[in-house]
Amino acid sequence: MPNKYPLWKNALLILLVIVGLLYAAPNLFGEDPALQITGTNTTVLTDTTVQHIKTVLQQQKIPALAFTPDTNSLLIRLSNTDEQLKASELVKSLLGDPYNVALNLAPATPAWLRAIGANPMKLGLDLRGGIHLTLDVDVDGVISQRIQSLQHTVGDDLREANIRYSDINQQDDALFLSFRDQRTLGLAMNELQKHFHELTLTPSNRNGNYTLRAQMSLQALSDLRTQVVEQTMLTLRNRVNELGISEATVQQAGNNRISVEMPGVLDSAHAKEILGGTATLEFHMADTTYDATANGPSPLGTTYYTYNGYRALLKDQVILSGNAITDAQASFDESGQPAVSITLGGGGEALFHRTTAQNIGKPMAIVYVENKVTDKWVNGLMTKVRSHQEHVISIATIHSALANSFQITGLNAPGEAQNLALLLRAGALPATVSIVEERTLGPKLGADNIHKGVLSVEIGMLIVIIFMALYYRVFGLIADLALMINLVLLVALLSMLGMTLTLPGIAGIVLTVGMAVDANVLIYERIREELRLGASPQASINAGYARAFTTIVDANVTTLIVALVLFGIGTGPVKGFAVTLSAGIVTSMISAIAVTRAMVNQIYGQRHVKQLAIGI
């Protein structure tokens, strides 16, 4: 008979529902407030330390749901956020600097579900709580630095080409070179045009003053701005990963601004310190030809620094920068002092190796460079003040040519070594960033949003279920059951995709619930029409599903196209809504067409019926 699915198709649908139930189930267990305790690279979290933590928590009457040890780490599950904060302060004071104590939210999913890869959906900032930061990227500062760099590079290039210039100086965003005659100016233009394609050169002759104006072209400036923002976002993502925040979102928010969302992060001070720090290292040769203790300005090409209370004279040339560092780990040197083990591989190693080989027996300095933006009251107004700090952390004699691996020593504390290693590992920010907006959303407010979101889904489903049951009777109950299966499949699909659920995502689920029965309404109305025309119940069922199929596909495909467009051009919440809507369209077509047809076949197929309970 026509209203019968083959056994394999029924078995496939049953298997699909079972898989959906398994992968949607983790979302029912929620998350526990937790502490993540890890030892640093040189500190091992021993069983004795773990037992000591348990004892102290019990003495302070802070009950822990579970202690889950792992390789040099410990996860402590607690019953609520208040106890989580109390336990965090207690454990930090107990363990001190050699350990990292981070606030976390640990999924309460049973181990057997995690073993098959069934994990709950990640929750966004508005549902989980956390920190939202908007960072302003100082692109103009990078452009100014690039012009300064070009000033030295252009001068070196002209000198190597034996083209003499009278003067070279920077004014705003341009370089001005002075020459003695027209011929030399022409030679300089030809030379610079060969090697500096990003410069726009404008010659001038005023009263015998031959000058050449060199300015970065509009295209070069645009490319540089784009490059700086993209590199900043990449570095911020690396730093977020180093903090262990897997659900964080880093995206561009305007020409020079970047938005960072860190769900579940409650320690805003540490997060801002790590994200906003632009620390890097510069390696300079110490100048031994001049007396570093002499008063007055530093000789040309050198700069005075203070190291261990004494003046040090360093050459300005950077023989290695932090960009060349591919790995950095906090460690200890041979004397037991904090150190950072460095591995090179990012470029510039050849110059570093050659310079150290040529200067064996001479001192080399390591300069720690950090740009910060702090808020200060100036004339009654809160003003962001940018500061550039440099200090020498080590001056050591070169005993041999340094290879791609070596140690930085001279650090004051293990915490300083650990932070420096993290910043160097994640990469130096190409530009100074300042926090222009900060919002903190507490876990309790996030829980309230979850409650309201779930309530909206429940109310929406209840209204649809009541309407379909009253209007289409048995067929309406079949559609209601399919609607619940659709919700299970949708949640399972989003969980398997690793979807980060936000309030707009919940709105997409609510919309899907309302739209999911549209296909059943089309099918049922078609069945009603066939019955009115005198067709038999079995023929009406077959015709209803067959003839409404094209209309259903057309309607859902057009909605899917809109959802894909939203995903392509949207950002943040819009993308979340688009993903949920797209997934909902796919699951609703499966449930509304295949699942309901299978249930109708089981109830009315293979038997003779005179009428259908479809509410005519």
308 and 456 housed in the same domain:
no
Q: Which tokens hold the place of 182?
A: 């027209």
Residue 368 in any domain: the answer is yes
316 and 451 housed in the same domain:
no
Neighbours of 470 (CB within 10 A): 10
- In the block, which residue shows the tokens 């020459």? 179
Neighbours of 284 (CB within 10 A): 24
Residue 272 in any domain: the answer is no
What residue numbers bound the domain in which 76 lies?
31-108
281 and 394 housed in the same domain:
yes
Q: Is 236 exposed, middle or buried (0-12, 13-18, 19+ CB in 10 A)?
A: buried
User: Domain with 402 in it: what CATH number?
Assistant: 3.30.1360.200
Which of 264, 266, 245 has the alpha carbon at shortest distance from 105?
264
Q: pLDDT tens across 502-518, in order?
A: 888 888 888 888 788 88
Distances (CA, A) of 505 to 100, 306, 499: 34, 55, 9
User: Domain with 38 in it: what CATH number?
Assistant: 3.30.70.260
Q: Residue 537 — very low, low, confident or very high, per pLDDT cuts 50/70/90?
A: confident
Report the pLDDT value the prediction gives residue 378, as an integer from 0 to 100: 64
Q: pLDDT tens across 329-361, in order?
A: 778 877 788 887 877 765 677 788 888 888 888
456 and 587 housed in the same domain:
yes
396 and 453 housed in the same domain:
no
Which of 10, 2, 20 has the alpha carbon at shortest distance from 586?
20
Question: Which 3 state secondary structure label does DSSP give 499?
Answer: coil
Angle between helices 268-276 and 414-426 (to 10 degrees): 60
Residue 340 in any domain: the answer is yes
DSSP summary character for residue 593: I
φ and ψ of 26, to 5 deg: -55, -25
454 and 429 housed in the same domain:
no
486 and 599 housed in the same domain:
yes
| Lowest-confidence region among 206-215, 241-250, 334-343 | 241-250
Task: Kindly report the pTM of this predicted structure.
Answer: 0.60
pLDDT of 321 above 90: no
Residue 490 in any domain: the answer is yes
Q: Which tokens hold the place of 82?
A: 């208040």
H-run or E-run covering 147: helix 139-160
φ and ψ of 176, to 5 deg: -120, 120
pLDDT of 276 above 80: no
Last residue of a domain, one of 439, 474, 502: 439
364 and 469 housed in the same domain:
no
Q: What is the mean pLDDT of residues 581-595?
A: 90
pLDDT of 375 above 60: no
Residue 232 in any domain: the answer is no
Report the pLDDT value the prediction gives residue 21, as an integer from 0 to 100: 93
- Which residue has better confidence, 161 or 293? 161
Check: CB of residue 180 under 8 Å from CB of residue 210. yes
Last residue of a domain, one of 407, 439, 471: 439
Alpha-carbon distance 304 to 283, whole Å?
15
Distance of CA 76 to the CA centre of its chain: 25
20 and 51 housed in the same domain:
no
- The partner residues of 136 in beta bridges, in order of sequence, read 257, 434
Residue 482 in any domain: the answer is yes
Q: Is 127 exposed, middle or buried (0-12, 13-18, 19+ CB in 10 A)?
A: buried
User: What single letter denotes the amino acid at residue 441?
Assistant: L
Alpha-carbon distance 238 to 401, whole Å?
31
- The partner residues of 402 in beta bridges, in order of sequence, read none
Question: Which 3 state secondary structure label does DSSP give 75?
Answer: strand
Counted domains in the chain: 4
DSSP structure string for 237-299: HHHHHHTT-TT-EEEE-SSSEEEEEEET---HHHHHHHHH---EEEEEEBP-SS-TT--SSPP
Q: Is 397 exposed, middle or buried (0-12, 13-18, 19+ CB in 10 A)?
A: exposed
Q: What is the mean pLDDT of residues 510-536?
A: 87
Distances (CA, A) of 333 to 283, 366, 406, 421: 19, 16, 11, 14
Residue 281 in any domain: the answer is yes
Gyration radius from the chain CA atoms: 33
Alpha-carbon distance 63 to 85, whole Å?
13
Question: Which 3 state secondary structure label does DSSP give 610?
Answer: coil
Distances (CA, A) of 429 to 319, 320, 323: 19, 16, 9
Query: Which range has the top average pLDDT, 104-108, 146-150, 451-455?
Result: 451-455
Q: Give Cβ neighbours of residue 578 (< 8 Å, ≥ 6 apart).
A: 508, 563, 564, 566, 567, 570
User: Domain with 189 in it: what CATH number?
Assistant: 3.30.70
Alpha-carbon distance 34 to 229, whole Å?
35
H-run or E-run covering 613: none
DSSP structure string for 30-73: -EEEEEEEEE-TT----HHHHHHHHHHHHHTT--EEEEEEETTE
Last residue of a domain, one of 415, 439, 463: 439
Which of 325, 388, 492 has the alpha carbon at shortest distance from 138?
388
| Lowest-confidence region among 145-149, 154-158, 244-248, 406-410 | 244-248
Check: CB of residue 143 under 8 Å from CB of residue 224. yes
pLDDT of 41 above 50: no
Alpha-carbon distance 80 to 231, whole Å?
39
| Lowest-confidence region among 85-99, 206-220, 427-441 | 427-441
Report the pLDDT value the prediction gives residue 42, as an integer from 0 to 100: 47
Check: CB of residue 523 under 8 Å from CB of residue 544. yes
Report the pLDDT value the prediction gives residue 60, as an integer from 0 to 100: 86
484 and 344 housed in the same domain:
no
Neighbours of 310 (CB within 10 A): 11
Residue 230 in any domain: the answer is no
410 and 482 housed in the same domain:
no
- Note the maximum CA span of the chain: 111
Neighbours of 558 (CB within 10 A): 10
Our CA dihedral for 147, 150, 152, 154, rounded to 10 degrees, sits at -140
Q: Residue 485 — very low, low, confident or very high, per pLDDT cuts 50/70/90?
A: very high
Alpha-carbon distance 357 to 399, whole Å?
9
Question: Which 3 state secondary structure label does DSSP give 398?
Answer: coil
150 and 104 housed in the same domain:
no
Report the pLDDT value the prediction gives residue 466, as an integer from 0 to 100: 92
What end-to-end distance do the CA atoms of the chain give, in Å?
A: 24
